[in-house]
Structure formats: C-alpha cells, structure tokens
Amino acid sequence: MKVLITVIAAFLLMQNTARAEEPSRAILGSESSPARPNILFIVSDDHGWGDLPSNWDKTEVRLPTLEALAAKGVRFLNYHTVPLCGPSRACMFTGQYSTENGMWRGPGQQPLGSPGYRGVKRDVKMLSEHLSESGYKMGAFGKWHLGALEGEVPGDRGFDEFHGFLGGAHPYWIKAGRSKFMHNRQPDRTSKGHATELFTDWAEGFIRENAAKGDPFFCYLAYNAVHGPLRVDESKPASAPEAWIKKALDRGVSFLRSDYVAILEHMDHNIGRLVDLLDELDIAGNTLIVFVSDNGGCTMEDGAVGGRFPGNNGLFRGGKATTYQGGLNVPFLMNWKGRLPQGMISDDRVMHCDIFATLLDFATIPVPEMNGKNPVRGTSLMPHVLSAGKEIIPERTMIFELWGNIGLRKGNYKLWSQIGREHSPDWDALVVELEHSNLALFDLSKDVAETNDLRTELPEVYASLKTELIDHLSNINSEYPGVRSTQLLNSKKPQLQNPAATPATKRPSHDQFFKNRDGNGDGAITLEEYIGNPKGRNVPALTRRFQKNDSNGDGKLQLDELKKQTK
C-alpha cells in the first residue's frame, strides 16, 4: 500500500509539474475544451496602430466589433512587424525574419534561382502546411501576396480552398469577369460585389461547412482593407459603399479621411458577421480569433511608399515601408471566448514571428527550432495570455529589414538606419556597408517619436546592438533549394568604437575585408575579387561602388582607396 501511495503521489506530481510548465497544453487538453480548436485568423492591410480606437482615442474610426473582441480578450500594445505586405505575411507564416525566409521584398515574377528572386524558400515549411498535416481543414480568403508561381500559391502551401487574389492590391468593386480573383487554381469569372463582403461570404461558407462536419478548421481571412485604391479627392470614385461613407461624413469625418474610415468600419461590420456566426453555430468557445494588421498605415507625406493615403499611426513616426515605429507597430489582438482573460492589455514586446509559434502551440503542434536552414525566431504567446501576463515574454532582439531600411529593437532601445536599397538581399554587401556606417540609437521609453539620437551618449549600448545586427546579417543562410548559396563574408564582430568619430576613423573591418577579397595576395583587389561569387549578389550595385572607389581608374582597388569610401 505504501508503495502504491508513493507511485500515485509521484504520478500526480509529474502531472502538476507538466501543467505548470505548459499551461497552454493543460487548458487545451481539458474536457471542456477539445484538443483541436478552430482558428479564425484575420489580417487587415495597411491598418495603422492609431486607427484601432482602444490604442488611440484620437482616431475618428469606430470599430465596435474589434473593440469588443479586445475588451473580452487580449490586446497587445507593442506588436512589431516588417513594414510591407508580402514580407510581413511571410514572417507570420514561417516564424522567421524576412532576411531568412526568402521574402525579403514582396513576391515578384522572377523564377526560382534567378537573381532577385523573391519568395518563401521551398524548404521552409509554412504554418498552413503544419496545420494541414495535423488534420485541419484549411481555407484562405482574400489577399494572398505570398507568390503566384508554381509552388507558391495557397494550394501548394497546405490550403484546401482559396478564393481571392494572388497579388498585392486589387480594386474593391468587383465586376463579373473583370477581376483578378481566383477560386483555387482557376480564374473566378462570376463573382461580383464588394471585395470585403465577398471575402466574408466565402469565409462564412467555409466555416459553416466544416463546423457541420465537426472538422477543426483554420480560416485565413486576409482583407485588402484598408490598402489603396482609396478616394482622397473628389475626382476619384470611392472604394467604400456609399452608405458607410455617409455615416462617416455625417459625424464630421473630413472628406480626405472619409473613404479610408468607411473602408475600415465596413470591414469591422463584416468581421462582426463572423463573430455572430461562431455564436450561432455554438463554436465560439472552441475558436481562437486572431486579428492583426500586416504593416503600418500609409501617410500623406510626399513620396510615401504604397501611395499617399491618410493612415493614422498614432504617436509613432513614419509609416508603411519605413522601419520607424509607425511602420512596425500595428494593431494585434486575440480572443478566445471563455478562455483568455477579458480586457488584458499586454505591453510585452512581441512580433510577427510569434504568430507562427503561437498558432502551432494553440493547435498542440510542437514548434520547431529550425525552419529550412535558419532558426525559428517566434515564441508562443499562449503561456503569457493564459497566465494573464504573469508569464512574461522573454526579452529578445527583434530585427527588421526592408531595402536596407533597418530597425533593431531590444528592450527600450532601438537601432535604426536607412542604408539604401541597392544591397538587399545581398546580405554580405549590406554587412560591409553597415560596418562603415553610423546608425541612430533611440530610447523608446522616453522618445517614442524617435527624434533624439543617443549614439554618442550611449556608446556601449550602440556598439552592442550594432554587433548583434551585423552578426545576424553575417550568419543568414541565404541558400534556396536547388540554388548555390552566396559566399558569406568573414563574420568578424565590429570593435567597440567611439561612435562620435567620423566614418573616416580607421576600423579593423576595412583591413579584414581587404584581406578576404585579395585572393592572390598581390595587394590589390580587382572587380572580380571585389564581387566574389556573383550568385545572388547585386552585381551592378557592387560594380558601381567599385568604380566609385577606384579613384585612379586603374581597375584595381588599393587599401587606401577602400578606406576613402567612408570619408
């Protein structure tokens, strides 16, 4: 009897320990909540942080559905993304940075293996593939923007059904036979109406069908709201239904913002249809709702990337396609009826890669350490939210890159620079440029608008963060399956230096780079040696830089000429 009691006590202790270590597993596996819950994953487009009313009470936008989901769920104030549509989605679906997963820019038409190819690597397993393999019924509705070539479309990446468009932008008003909509792999010649309503209709049908069968489902609903085209002057047609524009104008919204506001409010109304549907089907308690924007809002500044539209990024500087906080920090909330804390507001710093890990964990699928040849960067948020924030998100460095526009955040500190788009995705060339460049350092706890550069005041912080950035870019495995990898540069860390010094200050990295490239040891670098392995590198840009530094025009670069590039 004593032995039996001892065994039972040990067993109970093991169970309690397991539950303490994995709170998400304990709750997900309980009798009142089946182990295979549904997921409704909703993504808005170019929706700035300031246009979620609970984030920023100065917005005119009214989003009662999203506000109710946040009030009865968890809202994250400090969610970060990469600031462009395609790369941000790739990060959410792969758990990796855009520098690693292959989608360093929005997808293009270049075939796999060609210079400048942009697409999720074929050996990188996407969230949708994991879920499909584990038995989820998979539906994607709306904007894809993760590739249109063979191997890239939703049906190649785990989805059973797709209804929407493959590119980055599309008009809202759909005429039969005059859209780029697809149904699975075939053109949709018959659909007509408003895109927001059509996407919602298709998502509703998918949910009804699978709820009736009792199958766990993953419904990916990617609205193009509030991406352009939008009306900002009276000569253009409106993208929102007229009734919704009238509602906005009648309560004093400016004409400039009226179409924008109406598009968001119309989207919110349609999300409400699906929330009501979950209640109608009695599956709300078994369905996790995740809502997030892909990147920051567009602005009306001249030359704004993505078009000049009146987005609202709240207190933050910058917007879409910039790595200022206005481009990175966007709305993010989660709701699981009866399971998540109500009204929890998390200030922990989280990011796009965490969605991959969180949804895998929610579906009781182990989160892999690697994806392809690079690490998974995301961490599951389920223990954090299920513990009402008592289990904090581990502090980590978060890195964001777009065309050489770089942001690195660790704790309250933010490293920022705009190196120039000619280097991406030639990470070794970007490393060389960074080694000889001064970056800005901000303390976001005191300077959310990113105006006070602390580089000269905090040299040790600056040097440490710059080292982390260069280490990351130096150690990316940029190989695509079937394509030879580029030759990586020596990953020597930059020495702690006086950041107040001019870029002309001699640095060991000049000498190291020269030594690496001077293959025959003759004391000079030819253009061929300077470029190295041309596979996957931006050869025209490197050639221009070489010619610029070759001050005497002899076709060879001496060490003193290399050092002059930063004077």
- CATH number assigned to the domain comprising residue 216: 3.40.720.10
Instruction: Please give the Cα distance from 449 to 458 (Å, whole number).
Output: 19
Residues 143 and 104 occupy one common structural domain: yes
Q: Is the pLDDT of residue 308 over 90?
A: yes
Q: Report residue 493 as tokens.
A: 């860390």
Does 43 fall in a domain?
yes
Residues 452 and 501 occupy one common structural domain: yes
Residues 432 and 473 occupy one common structural domain: yes
Residues 295 and 408 occupy one common structural domain: no
Residues 434 and 378 occupy one common structural domain: no
pLDDT bracket for residue 345 (50, 70, 90): very high
Instruction: Please give the Cα distance from 222 to 270 (Å, whole number).
Output: 12
Most confident of 137-141, 495-499, 510-514, 556-560: 137-141
- Report pTM: 0.82
Are the C-beta atoms of residues 126 and 93 closer than 8 Å to each other? yes
pLDDT bracket for residue 506 (50, 70, 90): very low
Give residue 559's pLDDT. 81
Residues 115 and 245 occupy one common structural domain: yes
pLDDT bracket for residue 500 (50, 70, 90): very low
Residue 407 belongs to domain spanning: 398-564
Residues 372 and 487 occupy one common structural domain: no
Are the C-beta atoms of residues 329 and 296 closer than 8 Å to each other? yes
Greater confidence, 166 or 556? 166
Instruction: Please give the Cα distance from 364 to 380 (Å, whole number).
Output: 11
**Average pLDDT, integer, range 539-555:** 74
Does 514 fall in a domain?
yes
Q: Is the pLDDT of residue 330 over 70?
A: yes
**Average pLDDT, integer, range 120-129:** 97
Greater confidence, 452 or 16? 452
Share of the chain above pLDDT 90, in %: 74
The count of structural domains within the chain is 2
> Which of 224-228, 409-413, 523-527 has the weakest average pLDDT?
523-527
Q: Is the pLDDT of residue 13 over 50?
A: no
pLDDT bracket for residue 527 (50, 70, 90): confident
Q: Report residue 358 as tokens.
A: 């969180």
Does 102 fall in a domain?
yes
Residues 377 and 406 occupy one common structural domain: no
Greater confidence, 551 or 159? 159
Q: Is the pLDDT of residue 326 over 70?
A: yes
Q: What is the DSSP letter of 332?
A: E
Give residue 362's pLDDT. 97
Tell me the average pLDDT of the chain. Answer: 87
Q: Report residue 103 as tokens.
A: 């989608």
Does 104 fall in a domain?
yes
pLDDT in tens, 215-261: 999 999 999 999 999 999 999 999 999 999 999 999 999 999 999 99
Q: Is the pLDDT of residue 490 over 60?
A: no
Give residue 226's pLDDT. 98
pLDDT in tens, 378-398: 999 999 999 999 999 999 999
Instruction: Please give the Cα distance from 287 to 284 (Å, whole number).
Output: 5
Q: Could you tell me which of 69, 43, 42, 34 has the C-alpha nearest to residue 54? A: 69
Give residue 512's pLDDT. 56
CA count, 13 A, side-chain hemisphere, 261? 21
Does 391 fall in a domain?
no
pLDDT bracket for residue 539 (50, 70, 90): low
Instruction: List C-alpha distances in Å: 346 to 39, 79, 341.
Output: 21, 9, 11
Most confident of 5-19, 105-119, 229-243, 514-528: 229-243
pLDDT bracket for residue 18 (50, 70, 90): very low
> Which of 24-38, 159-173, 425-439 has the weakest average pLDDT?
24-38
pLDDT bracket for residue 558 (50, 70, 90): confident
Does 331 fall in a domain?
no
Does 155 fall in a domain?
yes
> Which of 167-171, 240-244, 331-335, 495-499 has the weakest average pLDDT?
495-499
> Which of 23-32, 379-388, 442-451 has the weakest average pLDDT?
23-32
Residues 304 and 376 occupy one common structural domain: yes
Are the C-beta atoms of residues 350 and 329 closer than 8 Å to each other? no
Instruction: Please give the Cα distance from 187 to 185 (Å, whole number).
Output: 7
Residues 319 and 185 occupy one common structural domain: yes
Peptide bond into 229 cis (omega under 30): yes
Residues 287 and 409 occupy one common structural domain: no
Does 409 fall in a domain?
yes
The DSSP result for 341-410, as a single string, is PTTEEE-S-EETHHHHHHHHHHTT-PPPSEETTEE------HHHHHTTTSSPPPP--EEEEETTEEEEEE
Residues 277 and 201 occupy one common structural domain: yes
Q: Which residues pair with 221 in a beta bridge?
A: 42, 141
Q: Is the pLDDT of residue 81 over 50?
A: yes
